[in-house]
Amino acid sequence: MAEQTLRAWLLTDTPTSRRHAKLSALYQGWLAFRANTMAMIGLGILLSLVLIAAAAPLLAPHDPFVQNLGNRLAPLGSEGHILGTDSLGRDILSRLIYGARITLYIVALVAMIAPIVGLLVGTVSGYIGGWVDIVLMRITDIFLAFPRLVLALAFVAALGAGIENAVIAISLTAWPPYARIARAETLTIRSSDYISAIKLQGAGGLRIITKHIWPLCVSSLIVRVTLDMAGIILAAAGLGFLGLGAQPPSPEWGAMISEGRRFILDHWWVATMPGLAIFTVSLAFNLLGDGLRDVLDPKAGE
Amino acid sequence: MDPLLDVEDLWVRFSTRQGVFDAVRGVSFTLGRERLGIVGESGSGKSMTGRAILRLIRPPGIVEADHIKLDGVDLLQKSEKSMRDVRGERISMVMQDPKFSLNPVMTIGDQIIESYRLHNKATKSEAWVKALEMLEAVSIRNPERVMRAYPHEMSGGMGQRIMIAMMLIPNPEILIADEPTSALDVSVQRQVLDIMDKLVQERGMGLIFISHDLNLVADFCDRVLIMYAGRIVEVCDANKLHEAQHPYTRGLLNSLPRLDTPRDRLDVLKRDPAWSEAPSVSGRL
Amino acid sequence: MKMLEINGLNVWFGSGRDRVDAVRNAAFEVGAGESFGLVGESGSGKSTILRAITGLAPSWSGTIAVAGRQIEIRRPKDFYKQVQMVFQDPYASLHPRHSVDAVLGETLQLHGFKDIDARVVRLLDDVGLGQKFRFRYPHQLSGGQRQRVAIARALAPEPELLLLDEPTSALDVSVQAEILNLLADLRQEHGLTYLMVSHDLSVVGHMCDRLAVMKDGEIVEIMDVVALRAMKATHPYSQHLLQASV
């Protein structure tokens, strides 16, 4: 009974307070999201990834860094090592579990930097227009003109190898598409009546951009970020694979594939297991992104 | 004489998260060689009725009816493929805004010629001559220039006339016009209506004219169905619309400001829940 | 006193070869407490005049004076306490992610009011919406309710001159009657001056005391409502317009 009334309270068309209205809007979004099975699968995978990363010391059967040269390249299902061991005899499962932390770390950092830079550049450029727009958009074009991995390689080469620098390099190459999206949205929002209306209240450019344009751009950016996450994980793995990202012995998934490459013909699982992990997480992000698009798209929400 | 179109107990349903929403609830009417107006407010189901006849309601929308008979043949029994031949060929539809109905990257001439050749065997040059005739029939001055123009170069009234010309090429038996003039200025409105009227009369077509404008419908149509909440609440002859009996129709008429009778306050429609409960009035002749 | 005086107003878009003159040499004045109508067909420049007054049209020349004070290109902040506008399409004039409370609250805050909560409550009552609408989002409102919110927003800074840009043309006739009645009531209660743009002569005839007829960016005739009702337009275009709308 209590549950029934809570549900009714959340689904009401006549919210009675600011908090009520917010919660109700969130709940309706959640209901729409929940109806999308694939998106729920994606969310489930990502939540378990977070849990695995958080509980890594409890879950991992072995220390990911302890080498055992006597038991190197053990096959799948061998005793004590379900996913086998790598060329130095380290347990692959444990390394994957610890590697989830690195993956999440990269994802979180890139997701914090790239879209925010893109949002700033895009909305300012779109709203102010004129010279500012021309200058900012040409800079964006320059970044877009380089192949992403090549540019990231150049940055890492300049800044030095390492996971933080890899993140910065990826972020620097990832923001221009967000700036383009944010600018395009700003251009349509800028000329709408509700922006004219708030101008007539004497609101300045800063307030209009942050309070009126951002909330409308953010949803499409979130969708784009989740869809891009797969690419970002792959780029990080690529840098790791090339030896420019995470450094050994860190159990970064891309670096693990790179190590396993030497044995790919005789000991395929060493490279395949981290590859499957990357694949699963990328897929999960894509599914989540598709679901979020259905929920967050303001046109569909009308 | 048999009616052109016979609709019996038409329902249009949409299932949403909040449950099933009935947009049209058991509407019956017939259409002869006449101008039948359907009026109502937004959300009354008038446009849905027009689209349901052509089976243009997309899922999750569902169309149900005892029958929708065109010359005695039930349209609901037809396959999607043979329905395509009905649309355009036998029943045409003119939408509210011509901008969205014309292809923006083709010249108007090419579009008319294409649709003419789709329905008739003709060479390009024959079709060109025919297309010029069509444009002249909808009183477009300088039709050769218009043939070479793109849709965005046309004003709203021109665009709507071109749409009517295109819709009438295959010589349909029925024309469904969904708010064909509400995007147009008053002075252009009249012209477009006159052209539509002339063509419909000459060819002996049936016309379903969907509009929210009571005065326009009273002026232009022969018979009027008044819809409220998915049902027909009243049927009357168009020239007697101003003597309509139903409180909803009266309310709508009284809420209009009038130049000849100034008032301090306009009458506000008071909605009676009983209106949407009352069974649908039949629009059969 | 004249609330609004416009003289030799030109408004144009673009420049050079692409220049389009939307309004040419418009002149009229609106007395305090008067309701003045601007009628014409689409593209006649009637809405452009409103946008020029509020500063939403970038390039104009001529003089606009509100309550005796000439408007500069950059409007002072208190200008918007004097002049407010209601837009045509209530579906486009409310931010889709802002609740009614947020819309009105922000407006009041921008105008420096302190007692925001009390004022939001009063505004909602003024436009006949009541408290149960306060925390709703635009998609939970009908067209008429949205337009009431837009009117409440325009009333928030307690303006003297309200510019109405086809406030009912996107609404059903029964809702139109409600909104027109509301506007008439508000004008009386708050002593407002209206400048109303419409393509519908009967709406202008109902709401306004005098009106100007526009064609292709020019005012062709200014007449009072008595002449309109008697169908006594002098300019051939206004006669034509009158004939078409009855």
Residue ranges of domains in chain B:
97-171
pLDDT by residue for chain C (246 residues), tens digit each? Answer: 789 999 999 999 888 777 888 899 999 999 999 999 999 888 788 999 999 999 888 788 999 999 888 888 778 878 899 999 999 888 889 998 888 999 999 999 999 898 999 999 999 999 988 888 888 888 888 889 999 999 999 999 999 999 999 999 888 888 999 999 999 999 999 999 999 999 888 899 999 999 999 998 899 999 999 888 888 888 998 888 888 777
Looking at chain A, which residue has its C-alpha nearest residue C88?
A193
What is the rounded average pLDDT for all residues in chain A?
A: 84
d(CA C115, CA C110): 13
CA dihedral sign, ordered A8, A14, A15, A16: negative
Secondary structure (DSSP) of A57-117: HHH-SS-TT---GGGTTPPTTBTTBTT-B-TT--BHHHHHHHHHHHHHHHHHHHHHHHHHH
Q: Residue C16 belongs to a domain with what CATH number?
A: 3.40.50.300
Short-list B39, B161, B162, B151, CA closest to B99: B151
Task: Give chain A positions within 8 Å (CB) of C101.
Answer: 18, 21
Looking at chain B, which residue has its C-alpha nearest residue A8?
B18
User: Using the 8-state DSSP alphabet, how is residue B283 labeled?
Assistant: B
| Domain span including residue C186 | 2-245
Beta carbon pairs, B and C, within 8 Å: 73
Task: Give chain B positions within 8 Å (CB) of A31.
Answer: 17
Looking at chain A, which residue has its C-alpha nearest residue C56?
A196
Angstroms from A31 CA to nearest CA on chain B: 9
pLDDT interval class at B15 (50, 70, 90): confident
Task: Give chain A positions within 8 Å (CB) of B17.
Answer: 31-32, 35
Task: State whether C87 and A15 contact (CB < 8 Å).
Answer: no
Please state the separation of Cα A249 from the chain's center in Å.
24
| Interacting residues of C183 by C-beta distance below 8 A, sequence separation 6+ | C151, C164, C167, C194, C207
Q: What's the whole-number mean pLDDT along residues A283-292?
A: 86
Q: How much is the pLDDT for B1?
A: 57
Of A54-68, A113-127, B58-72, give the range with the top mean pLDDT.
Answer: A113-127
Q: How much is the pLDDT for C223?
A: 92
B234-244 burial code (b ≥16 CB/10 A, e <16): bbbebeebeeb
d(CA B192, CA A62): 82
Strands (E), B17-160: 19-31, 35-39, 61-64, 67-70, 73-74, 91-94
Angle between helices A253-260 and A214-241 (to 10 degrees): 30
Short-list C78, C35, C97, C87, CA closest to C56: C87
Q: How much is the pLDDT for A166?
A: 84
Task: State whether C203 and B259 contact (CB < 8 Å).
Answer: no
d(CA C58, CA A110): 40
Here the contacts of A166-169 (C-beta below 8 Å, separation 24 or greater) are: A166/A106, A166/A236, A166/A239, A166/A240, A166/A244, A166/A245, A166/A246, A167/A105, A167/A106, A167/A109, A167/A110, A167/A113, A167/A236, A168/A113, A169/A239
Q: What structural domains and CATH numbers belong to chain A?
A: 33-63+97-301 (1.10.3720.10)
Task: State whether C184 and B264 contact (CB < 8 Å).
Answer: yes
Q: How much is the pLDDT for A3?
A: 60
| Residue B119 · residue B112 · CB < 8 Å | no
Between the alpha carbon of residue A14 and those of residues C122, C123, C141, C144, the distances in Å are 18, 18, 10, 17
Q: How much is the pLDDT for A117?
A: 93
Chains linked to B by 3 or more Cβ pairs within 8 Å? A, C
| Residue C143 · residue C173 · CB < 8 Å | no
User: Using the 8-state DSSP alphabet, how is residue C56 labeled?
Assistant: -
How many domains is chain C built from?
A: 1
Looking at chain C, which residue has its C-alpha nearest residue B44?
C172
- Side-chain-side CA neighbours of residue C111 (13 Å): 27
Q: Does C99 contact A at CB distance below 8 Å? A: yes
Give the global pTM. 0.84
**What spatial distance separates the first Cα and last Cα of chain C, rounded to whole Å?**
35
- pLDDT (tens digit, 9 = 90+) per residue, B225-234? 999 989 999 9
Q: Residues, chain B, total?
A: 285
Short-list C33, C225, C87, CA closest to B257: C225
Q: How much is the pLDDT for A300?
A: 45
